[in-house]
Structure 1
Amino acid sequence: MYSYPDFKLLKHRVILYISISSIFMTFFMWLFCFLVFNTVNRSEQLYYYFFILVLFLIVFIGLGIFGLFKLLKPIEKIMISHFQNLDLIIDEKSAKVEKYYSDFLYEKEKSFRYINIVGVILLSLDAQYKVKMINKKGASVLGYSESEIIGKNWFENFVYTDDIDSFINNIQYNNTKVENAVFESHIINNSGVKRIINWTVVYLGSDNKNDDEYILSGEDITERKNLEDQYRQAQKMESIGRLAGGVAHDFNNLLTIIIGNTDILLSEVEKETDLYRDLESIGKAATRAASLTDQLLAFSRKQILKPQVFNVNQSIVNVIKMISRLIGENITIETHLSDDIKKIKADKGQFEQILLNLAVNSRDAMPTGGKIVISSKNIHIDSYYCRNYSDARPGQFVCISFSDSGLGISESVQKNIFEPFYTTKDIGKGTGLGLSVVYGIVKQHEGWINVRSKQGEGTTFNIYLPILFEDRDDSMIIEENMDKYIGSGETILFVEDEEDIRKIIPTILIKKGYNTLIASNIIEGQSIFEKKSKKIDLIITDVVLPDGTGIEMVKKIEANYKNIKVIFSSGYVADTKEINEMTEKGYFFIQKPYSVIELLKLIKLQFISNK
């Protein structure tokens, strides 16, 4: 490469060449003129002057051109060298630019891939809150294509109206803070469904406020929130169930005393008297109160089941006649029952109670008439489904759907619909226990129930009960076709911690032909049985006793004595599993409060049963 001193030397050469050429030209021209002027006359000198001038110019210009050509030859080489070097520099720079551009495109593509592969919503908003960019996850959650979202105002088109102000406040608050804003809000997707999003916002400020930008990262937590709500609801229902069961236990003990005393008095008072009618009214009121506690126990899932294997389709067909009488002529019933429905093992009476309670609920939702549709099908539940329903579990189930074309149920009511005593009906038109009983029965059978409803579009209850894989029939029951229930001097050990019940029931049993031995706890009961085991024909024991449970007492007794007969009773059982195990052995259970005739029937049935 040539430097600046090279060009300076070249300039000096050009000046030197021109000076020498001028000297030589001047000398030759003087010599030529001297010779000419001495040989020609004066008339011809003008012609020669002109000729000499032209010749001088031609020679001078020719020498100049020749000299310049000779002098420019090195310049040509210099310029060629410079251009070649310039080409190399340009090629080198171009290669670098191309590489930088290629790397830029690669990094940009990689960034877009990262943006689209992440499982969260990513979007950017300009200063006017218009969407500049959104990734595939965000577009998927919203239910639009990316091109349909970009350029639109975020708040006017995609944010739930009630959340707009708080959303804007959160991102504007972030403008003056170092930390990023984190908050929750609702967005509306293409189907009009609200989704709950947990947002993190980064503010990218600039000197020109019009160039401000907000980068938002959002996690769709709708399913998680739903599960949390369902879990809280399940906990609340469990707490209410325990409370209801405890109340039912104490209440049933009181009702047992009332009903027992009423039965004694009725047997001693003449009929057709005012006192007899008053006692009958007391007995009927106590019976109605007992039905309420039964419903509380059904909700708390502490009823004693009488499970049997049966086909739900047959039960649905059988109960439709009762439903028809309940709902009236302005409501039609339609069934869609699967031909290959699997059998279940459940309490048939309680299953039918589910259908009756749902029918009453549907009837009240269709005051001007409508249609009920009952359907059944076998269904496989997978883990994905269970993510949306906290009560659900994977496996094979029978699904019974109960739909109506009624008024529908609002979202706020759906949250509390299975709680006991919760009702939207007018005072005096409902107890609020119908659906809570359904919930309790289904849960006690290890199933679950959910509701789908929109106001004005009707309601559907879906009940899921586990399929029975053992092909056997437990529907055999002992007939109670006995004409009388009077005892023949049999001895009954009666174990009860409630003092009033401990007085009333033995008194009644003695009057009905039985001998009684009385104990108030497990220790007394065991001691009496060991002393008089040969004389004792039957044990009637409360389940809940001060020093343990009647079940524990019976297990200790049956370890040493075979073929004992037992009737358990309770107003509330915390663990129904043990009672069910006892009933499967052939022991009986009677729910408090019970009437004298119910107890006498069960005693007689125990004596004639094949244990």
Structure 2
Amino acid sequence: MVSYLKKFKKVGSSLGLVEQSQMVASTAVIVLMMTIIAIYVFTGEKLRWLDFFTLLTVGVFGFIIVYFIAKYGQQINEQHQQLLGLNTVSQAVSHSVELDMVLQNALEKVCELLNADYGWIFMLENGKMQLKHQYKIQRNIFSENIMLDERWIEVLKMDHELTPAFFEKQQYVTAQLKQFNIMDWASLPLERNQQFVGVILIASRNPNKFKKKQIELLSTFRNQIGLALNNAYLFEQLKQSEKLYHDLYENLPDMYHSINRDGLIVSCNQTELEYLGYDRYELVGKPVTILYPSEKHNEVIERVRYIFDQKLELKGVEEVFQKKDGSKIIVSINTSLVYNSDGKPTLIRVVARDVTKQKMLEEKIIQAQKIDSIGNLAGGVAHDFNNILNSILGPASMMKRKINEQDKFYKYITLIEDSARRGAAVTRQLLTFSRKSNVYFKLTNINKVVEDTITLFERSVPKLIQIKKNLQNNVLLVNADEGQIEQAVLNLFLNAQDAMPEGGIITVSTRAVDLNESIPAVYSDIPPDKYVHIKIVDNGRGIPKEFLNKIFEPFFTTKDQAKGTGLGLSVVYGVVKSHKGYITVESELNIGTAFSIYLPRVDKIVQSEETTESQAIVGGGEHILIVDDDVGANIVAGDILKELGYKVTIAQDGFQAIEKFQSTNYFDLVILDLNMPGVSGKDVFYQMKKLNPAIKVLICSGYSDTVLNDDEFLKEIDGYLHKPYMYEDLAKSVREVLDH
């Protein structure tokens, strides 16, 4: 009996809930019926069939009621299991938003809930099924990449049981499949936005493991996993977007940082760190004043507060940032505000662009334009001043010829003449600075010019000043006006001497320099070419930084009024520019100053014709027309020429000159000023040439761009005499033109 009950219990435990309920109800009815029969048999009472059928009816109805109750309970239990499974899967896949973790958790929970022995999850990437994770298996029975064809797509899109025979036929499954003794398969397609994106495959060693109920349960996981996948993909896209933004933010050419209401830097990009020389921990969390010079700290603090209070945005504001090493850069700043949900600004976003080089270039352009404008002004002043000096020097030289050296007025005339010459020297320096003086180029050995200048300088330099030479042995040739280069070098020597009142060392060096694109930034303003480099260094008191941009301006000087005119360095600048060269200066207070001149090296001579001066003062009887709007110039020239025996006619302007030229049958020579009101000297020249192509013309002017810049005009004129001139200068020039 006991063994029977055990077998009965074992059979019952193998049945489902409904079958167990039916078995219990049937057993109860049978027991009751047998009890009734036994009572009647042992008591001898007559069996009442009504009781029997009543009991049977009650048993049948009880059986039916128990069946439906059990069936309903089974459905509730299955729904509970489904909900429990859904909740388990939902929690597992929503535990992380990382795509890889979502896939791994989804595979593990599906396999656990369906008691699968093995599992795989594949994702569709670039047209191939890529294996992402496996469950309870180390080796892979699939090849690495599964190319999708239509058949596979259709099969994998369905959540159903797959036969082992189906997989054994696929070329993507390796021969190792049989070693795992897999007897049943099932698949769960994964979708995102109704698009097939992957599949979960599960396998069991038991045949018919995945029946309809298991497949239905498997299907219930699809939406939860799909939703988790969608969130994971969105999170991945967000990460990629954030990474892209972060990479852009970190590597943009401009500097970025954000400031909170306390004036602290809460973030900055890599560009700013590299520009300013900081590590991130040295800036983030620090007051924004760390970016500025100490004298600007209070102003910066007030500005941050004002921007927050007034909700301002700055555009193109120029500021000075201070690097970690103490050096400074000029930046252009733009700001914007970040607001919270209450509409209150919480951060200031700052974009700073380094404009140091741009500002330096602008300053250089402005400086060049300024110097050019001053040069034009200087040229005009020199013209008028030369006319005045001409009216002084000419008569003085005439009077000096008329009186004896023992005459009491001789020394005064000599003083007047010397003063006029010094004035003429000043105008020559002005014209040299403005690059409007006559320049006679020839092949020049720079080392020889420097040696000659040193010799000249050493005659007057105090013994406290030492000169050290470091001249390159090779011959360094440039196409230059030797006198002007000598003047420029001498001016730099004199400037160095003035910087060392208590004595010092002047070092002069020369060398050949070939500049190209790879040369360091110190040469960035000098175009690539072959140059001769002249460097003059002193160990004097140096030049303050605020003066470095002004030292080449004419009349700028820091010396006492009696010690300098302010034209020395201006002349150097003008000489260098007229030779298509470049000049740079480096200076440090109490250390010294270094001037560098770069002149283009040449391989062949480019030399203008040099005038040959007559040694004797000879007059003549030719008829000369003098054309000048300056009365004094006309008087001086007329009197000198008349004294020399020439016949002279005077014209006060271009109109008179043309009129007299047309009315007079013949002039042997015209002395012509170029800068005249009304009709210019150049126009007068061409009109006279039309009337008489053979007429000889001597140009006499304080300065003129026309003479310097018009090569064709230079070829057409017969001579050029620079004002102011002395008696001998005019006599020689006139005779030279007439005799050639």
Bucket of the pairwise TM-score, normalised by the shorter protein? 0.7 to 0.9
* Rounded Cα–Cα distance in structure 1 between residues aligned with 2:579 and 2:340: 64
Q: Displacement of 1:299 after TM fit?
A: 2.2
Q: Identify the residue that residue 435 of structure 2 maps to in structure 1.
A: 301
Residue of 493, 496, 500 corresponding to 1:366: 500
Q: Identify the residue that residue 552 of structure 1 maps to in structure 2.
A: 683
Consecutive unaligned residues in structure 2, runs of 5 or more: 1-17, 44-68, 90-220
Give the conservation status (yes or no) of the 8 Å contact 2:277–2:325: yes
Give the conservation status (yes or no) of the 8 Å contact 1:167–1:185: no
Q: Displacement of 1:338 after TM fit?
A: 8.0
Structure 1 residues 181 and 94: CA distance shift in structure 2, 3 A: same
Structure 1 residues 374 and 480: CA distance shift in structure 2, 3 A: same
Larger radius of gyration: 2
- 1:22-51 C-alpha deviation (Å, 9 max, x unpaired): x989989x999x99xx9xxxxxxxxxxxxx
Structure 1 residues 294 and 338: CA distance shift in structure 2, 3 A: same
Matched, 1:170 2:303: yes
Q: Displacement of 1:485 after TM fit?
A: 0.6
Give the conservation status (yes or no) of the 8 Å contact 2:393–2:724: yes
Give the conservation status (yes or no) of the 8 Å contact 2:255–2:353: yes
Comparing 310-319 and 415-424, the one that deviates more: 310-319
Q: Displacement of 1:240 after TM fit?
A: 2.3
* Rounded Cα–Cα distance in structure 2 between residues aligned with 1:318 and 1:475: 23
Matched, 1:103 2:104: no
Comparing 272-281 and 379-388, the one that deviates more: 379-388
Comparing 550-559 and 407-416, the one that deviates more: 550-559
Q: Displacement of 1:459 after TM fit?
A: 2.0
Q: Displacement of 1:273 after TM fit?
A: 2.3
Residue of 572, 593, 596 corresponding to 2:703: 572
Residue of 334, 337, 352 corresponding to 2:469: 334
Give the conservation status (yes or no) of the 8 Å contact 1:495–1:519: yes
Q: Displacement of 1:448 after TM fit?
A: 3.9
Please state whether the residue corresponding to 2:362 is helix, strand or coil: helix
Structure 1 residues 211 and 83: CA distance shift in structure 2, 3 A: farther
Identity percentage of aligned residues = 27
Q: Displacement of 1:90 after TM fit?
A: 5.1
Matched, 1:602 2:733: yes
Comparing 306-315 and 381-390, the one that deviates more: 381-390
Please state whether the residue corresponding to 1:320 is helix, strand or coil: helix
Matched, 1:491 2:623: yes
Question: Could you tell me which amino acid in structure 2 is paired with residue 369 of structure 1?
Answer: G
Give the conservation status (yes or no) of the 8 Å contact 1:382–1:395: no
Q: Displacement of 1:184 after TM fit?
A: 2.0
- 1:361-404 C-alpha deviation (Å, 9 max, x unpaired): 111112321232333434447699999988x6676655443333
* Rounded Cα–Cα distance in structure 2 between residues aligned with 1:501 and 1:379: 49
Give the conservation status (yes or no) of the 8 Å contact 1:508–1:596: yes
* Rounded Cα–Cα distance in structure 1 between residues aligned with 2:555 and 2:403: 38
Give the conservation status (yes or no) of the 8 Å contact 1:139–1:149: no
Q: Equivalences for 1:26-45 in 2 at 5 Å?
A: none
TM-score by length of 1: 0.79
Residue of 242, 250, 259 corresponding to 1:125: 259
Q: Equivalences for 1:304-383 in 2 at 5 Å?
A: 304-329=438-463, 330-337=465-472, 339=474, 341=476, 343-344=478-479, 346-367=480-501, 368-380=503-515
Give the conservation status (yes or no) of the 8 Å contact 1:298–1:437: yes
Question: Could you tell me which amino acid in structure 2 is paired with residue 509 of structure 1?
Answer: L
Matched, 1:502 2:634: yes
* Rounded Cα–Cα distance in structure 2 between residues aligned with 1:578 and 1:564: 23
Please state whether the residue corresponding to 1:355 is helix, strand or coil: helix
Give the conservation status (yes or no) of the 8 Å contact 2:453–2:486: yes
Q: Displacement of 1:187 after TM fit?
A: 0.5
Question: Could you tell me which amino acid in structure 1 is paired with residue 272 of structure 2?
Answer: G
Q: Identify the residue that residue 652 of structure 2 maps to in structure 1.
A: 520
Give the conservation status (yes or no) of the 8 Å contact 1:404–1:459: yes
- 1:426-484 C-alpha deviation (Å, 9 max, x unpaired): 23111111011122223333444332222233222233445557x334276345362x2
Matched, 1:511 2:643: yes
Consecutive unaligned residues in structure 1, runs of 5 or more: 1-12, 39-67
Question: Could you tell me which amino acid in structure 2 is paired with residue 497 of structure 1?
Answer: D
Structure 1 residues 341 and 451: CA distance shift in structure 2, 3 A: same
Q: Identify the residue that residue 81 of structure 1 maps to in structure 2.
A: 82
* Rounded Cα–Cα distance in structure 1 between residues aligned with 2:512 and 2:523: 20
* Rounded Cα–Cα distance in structure 2 between residues aligned with 1:369 and 1:451: 19
Q: Equivalences for 1:59-78 in 2 at 5 Å?
A: 76-78=77-79
- 1:273-332 C-alpha deviation (Å, 9 max, x unpaired): 221212211221222122222222222222122233334344333333223335444322
CA RMSD of aligned residues (A): 4.1
Q: Equivalences for 1:160-239 in 2 at 5 Å?
A: 160-182=293-315, 183-206=317-340, 212-239=346-373
Comparing 421-430 and 441-450, the one that deviates more: 441-450
Give the conservation status (yes or no) of the 8 Å contact 1:304–1:579: no
Q: Identify the residue that residue 391 of structure 2 maps to in structure 1.
A: 257
Q: Identify the residue that residue 141 of structure 1 maps to in structure 2.
A: 275
Structure 1 residues 201 and 473: CA distance shift in structure 2, 3 A: closer
Please state whether the residue corresponding to 1:103 is helix, strand or coil: helix
Comparing 103-112 and 92-101, the one that deviates more: 92-101
Question: Could you tell me which amino acid in structure 2 is paired with residue 177 of structure 1?
Answer: Q
Q: Displacement of 1:157 after TM fit?
A: 3.0
* Rounded Cα–Cα distance in structure 1 between residues aligned with 2:600 and 2:679: 33
Please state whether the residue corresponding to 1:181 is helix, strand or coil: coil
Give the conservation status (yes or no) of the 8 Å contact 2:263–2:301: no
* Rounded Cα–Cα distance in structure 2 between residues aligned with 1:191 and 1:120: 20
TM-score by length of 2: 0.66
* Rounded Cα–Cα distance in structure 2 between residues aligned with 1:27 and 1:598: 160
Question: Could you tell me which amino acid in structure 1 is paired with residue 286 of structure 2?
Answer: N
Matched, 1:157 2:290: yes
* Rounded Cα–Cα distance in structure 2 between residues aligned with 1:423 and 1:410: 12
Question: Could you tell me which amino acid in structure 2 is paired with residue 162 of structure 1?
Answer: E
Structure 1 residues 104 and 325: CA distance shift in structure 2, 3 A: farther
Structure 1 residues 516 and 385: CA distance shift in structure 2, 3 A: farther
Give the conservation status (yes or no) of the 8 Å contact 2:537–2:594: yes
* Rounded Cα–Cα distance in structure 2 between residues aligned with 1:432 and 1:172: 48
Residue of 369, 381, 402 corresponding to 2:536: 402
Structure 1 residues 74 and 580: CA distance shift in structure 2, 3 A: closer
Matched, 1:540 2:671: yes
Structure 1 residues 154 and 598: CA distance shift in structure 2, 3 A: farther
Residue of 439, 442, 450 corresponding to 2:573: 439
Question: Could you tell me which amino acid in structure 2 is paired with residue 499 of structure 1?
Answer: V
Give the conservation status (yes or no) of the 8 Å contact 1:163–1:185: no
* Rounded Cα–Cα distance in structure 1 between residues aligned with 2:558 and 2:712: 39
Give the conservation status (yes or no) of the 8 Å contact 2:259–2:288: no
Q: Displacement of 1:355 after TM fit?
A: 0.8
Please state whether the residue corresponding to 1:488 is helix, strand or coil: coil
Please state whether the residue corresponding to 1:104 is helix, strand or coil: helix
Q: Displacement of 1:75 after TM fit?
A: 5.5
Q: Displacement of 1:586 after TM fit?
A: 6.5
Please state whether the residue corresponding to 1:485 is helix, strand or coil: coil
- 1:186-225 C-alpha deviation (Å, 9 max, x unpaired): 0122443321111122233559999943211112122222
Question: Could you tell me which amino acid in structure 2 is paired with residue 262 of structure 1?
Answer: A
Give the conservation status (yes or no) of the 8 Å contact 1:260–1:595: yes
Matched, 1:477 2:610: yes
- Where relative contact order (Cα < 8 A, 6+ residues apart) is larger, the structure is 1
